[in-house]
Amino acid sequence: MFQSLQPAERQRRMPPVMKQQRVIVVGGGVGGLAAATDLARHGAQVTVCERAAEPGGKMRQIAVAGAGVDAGPTVFTMRWIFEQLFVDAGDALERRLELAPASILARHAWRDGGTLDLHADVDRSADAIAAFAGAAEADGYRDFCRRSADVYRTLEQSFIAAQRPSPVELVRRVGFGRLDAMWRTAPMQNLWGALGQHFRDPRLRQLFGRYATYCGSSPLTAPATLMLVAHVEQDGVWQVRGGMRAVALALAGLAERQGAELRVATEVSRILVKGGRISGVQLASGEHLDADAVVFNGDVSALGSALLGDDVRRAAPAVVPAARSLSAVTWCMKARIRGFDLEHHNVFFASDYPDEFRAIFDRREITAAPTVYLCAQDRGVLADAASAPSGREPERLLVLVNAPADGDSHRWSAAEIAELESRSFGLLRDCGLEFDRTDGDAIITTPTQFAELFPGSGGALYGRASAGAMSTFQRPGAQSSVAGLYLAGGSVHPGPGVPMAAMSGRLAAAQWLQDLRRARR
């Protein structure tokens, strides 16, 4: 799977002007694989160095009781980004992945009572909300959907699919004649306050406030701009045959078919600079690889913390601990469940949502009753009806609780993990979900392990938290301050999440190509 094209074949694919351009991609996550695809397609000699045994980065899978459980991202959205990547490479997404749209986006339950399904269809969701909380709340939901669509249309091409702008540049891209559209994105308002304009029921503010966590942030401080996530989900949430690991393997295969070489279990210990510009990398094994450019697809704090050497420390500043995004505690499980009819995506709430984020970001702890996300990976539109879970057989589950990103300063004890597990699974039990557990049915990952898996992050899963109107402009763009070093991944523009990371890789490759053409004029 990970064998590259033979050198002679790669040589035939290269335009002559590009033959001597060697580019190393550090990190085989989504952003790195997208960058490698575009770089190789434009004729560069590309080597991807991935420290793990498989590509995918945070989109990883853990073996539990003989079954692979997706242990990272579980939601596939913004399909158009991946379709375009494959089309540009002369391929087709549907040839490489089996995708099916989810009709139910997520099932939500509250400890104090009530269950609500959010549907892909706005009218069905509005009907469900009306039955759940009344007609006025359904009207508020429709207004919210219109507003989120407007925000998305304003920012799609001006921000998401473009190199990182300054605030003034963003206004210019949107158009000085469309300042009203820019104002409607509500950059100066926090998401929690904006939701109060649409919903009186606190449970609905909880439900839609959760969109801030998609970029590792608090709805109390994240800009209201993040309401655009509602439109992204309505545009399509897709389930993937084989899980999200299949997405990583499809992207790796696409990069290889363009001529990129993928080296797994290959850790880069240092990025080398000579004469003020990139000259290559040194591997943990001691091997040196020469390069004309490097795309770094890791947490940018690893650069600013000099984990890749002093020569690239100035490439991007490290995110200070107080500005980090959320981390998590996760349970990858194979267990029997009963008492609650799960969907593929499920969210279980307690009553005091704001305190969850005050606890994490202010007190650096997990609140008494945290929100619990559960992905039932054997359920959904791609599940085989003949073998659909019935509670009689164990099924694959990812259970996740948000946590502070203190993995480099706090090591979780077994007692702390057991106490959090009791509280978290107690909430699930209060919502009607029971587990039949056996010893060894779960593999637990804490912020400590996330910090070890993703160097420099401290366990933060989304880079810098989005807090305030200017936070999004504090993420680095594709071009670093070191000549020949480019940045990709969820900690840089346009932000975290699988599609955004893919877009960051494409933006890094585009910036490299632009710089190369400018240098050769």
Give me the pLDDT at residue 5, please. 31
Judging by beta carbons within 10 Å of its beta carbon (0-12, 13-18, 19+), is residue 388 exposed, middle or buried?
exposed
**Distance set, CA 17 to CA 2, 99, 210, 468 (Å):** 27, 38, 49, 45
- Tell me, rounded to whole angstroms, the distance of Cα 219 from its chain centroid: 17
Checking if the pLDDT of 125 tops 70, the result is yes
Identify the CA nearest to 251 among candidates 491, 73, 514: 73
Tokens standing for residue 94? 């549907």
Distance CA 469, CA 189 (A): 8
Distance CA 14, CA 45 (A): 8
The total of other beta-carbon atoms located within 10 Å of residue 134's CB is 13
Give me the pLDDT at residue 473, please. 74
Give me the pLDDT at residue 184, please. 57
Distance CA 112, CA 419 (A): 22
Q: Which residues in 245-269 are b (16+ Cβ under 10 Å) and which e?
A: bbbbbbbbbbbbbbbbbbbbebebe
pLDDT band at 280 (very low <50, low <70, confident <90, very high): very high
pTM above 0.85, yes or no: yes
Q: Taking residues 17-25, what's their average pLDDT?
A: 77
User: Which uninterrupted H or E stretch holds 507?
Assistant: helix 498-519
Strand partners, 374: 346, 399
Identify the CA nearest to 101 among candidates 120, 83, 122, 128: 120
Give the side-chain half-sphere CA count within 13 A for 8. 0
Checking if the pLDDT of 19 tops 60, the result is no
Give me the pLDDT at residue 177, please. 57
Tokens standing for residue 44? 């560069």
Give me the pLDDT at residue 386, please. 46
Q: Taking residues 86-105, what's their average pLDDT?
A: 97
Stretch among 26-30, 59-63, 158-162, 254-258 having the lowest mean pLDDT: 158-162
**Distance set, CA 44 to CA 11, 22, 101, 187 (Å):** 10, 6, 36, 39
pLDDT tens for each residue of 338-388: 999 999 999 999 999 999 999 999 999 999 999 999 999 999 888 754 456
Distance CA 234, CA 157 (A): 18
Identify the CA nearest to 49 among candidates 280, 275, 307: 280
- Tell me, rounded to whole angstroms, the distance of Cα 17 from its chain centroid: 36
Distance CA 55, CA 244 (A): 12
Checking if the pLDDT of 7 tops 50, the result is no
pLDDT tens for each residue of 389-426: 666 789 999 999 999 999 999 999 999 999 999 999 99
pLDDT tens for each residue of 441-471: 899 999 999 999 999 999 999 999 998 766 7
Identify the CA nearest to 50 among candidates 354, 258, 265: 265
Identify the CA nearest to 74 among candidates 59, 89, 93, 92: 59
Distance CA 388, CA 393 (A): 10
45-49, strands of its sheet edge to edge = 261-263, 45-49, 22-26, 293-296, 485-487
CA triplet 299, 330, 224: central angle to 5 degrees? 60
Distance CA 438, CA 196 (A): 43
User: Which uninterrupted H or E stretch holds 356?
Assistant: helix 353-358
Q: Which residues in 333-372 are b (16+ Cβ under 10 Å) and which e?
A: bbbbbeebebbbbbbbbbeebbbbbebbbeeeebbebbbb
pLDDT tens for each residue of 493-519: 999 999 999 999 999 999 999 999 988
What's 160's DSSP letter?
A: I
Give me the pLDDT at residue 479, please. 94
Residue-averaged pLDDT of the chain: 90
Checking if the pLDDT of 302 tops 90, the result is yes
